[in-house]
Amino acid sequence: MAIERRTWNCCGTLLRIASIVGALASVGLLIWVLMQHWQTFMAWKGEAGFWPFFAGVAVLPLLGIPITPLLVLAGVTFELLPSLAGCALAFAVRALALPLHTFHE
């Protein structure tokens, strides 16, 4: 009796399709919300402080918040060199604080 090999994995394919649809829906929702509140975003962008923002970039990932949206927001909010310098400084602070964070868990 030969073992039949499945050539099509329906669960894996459905999971991939659902992931792609979810990602596209998330991006679409983000764009829609940004378009609805564009003036508010531009006012926040003009008033955003460098030090509080990058202090948040350094500390918030230690609390479990993903850092990727914060890095994208840094690139949109500040110019290239301040964004790179702030991200590098935040990464250095986080790298120094990470051993303390894992020690207490």
pLDDT digits (tens, 9 = 90+) for 3-19: 666 566 667 788 889 99
pTM of this structure: 0.53
Q: Are residues 28 and 52 in the same domain?
A: no
Let me know: does 92 contact 82? Beta carbons within 8 Å. Answer: no
Return the pLDDT at 88: 92
Domain count along the chain: 2
Q: Is the pLDDT of residue 48 over 80?
A: no
Task: Find the DSSP H helices in 1-105.
Answer: 10-36, 38-47, 50-59, 68-77, 80-104
Q: Are residues 55 and 89 in the same domain?
A: yes
Average of pLDDT values for 44-63? 82
Tell me the percentage of the chain whose pLDDT exceeds 70: 83
Cβ-proximal residues to 90 (8 Å cutoff; 6+ apart), any chain: 54, 55, 57, 58
Residue range of the domain that includes 30: 9-36
Return the pLDDT at 3: 64
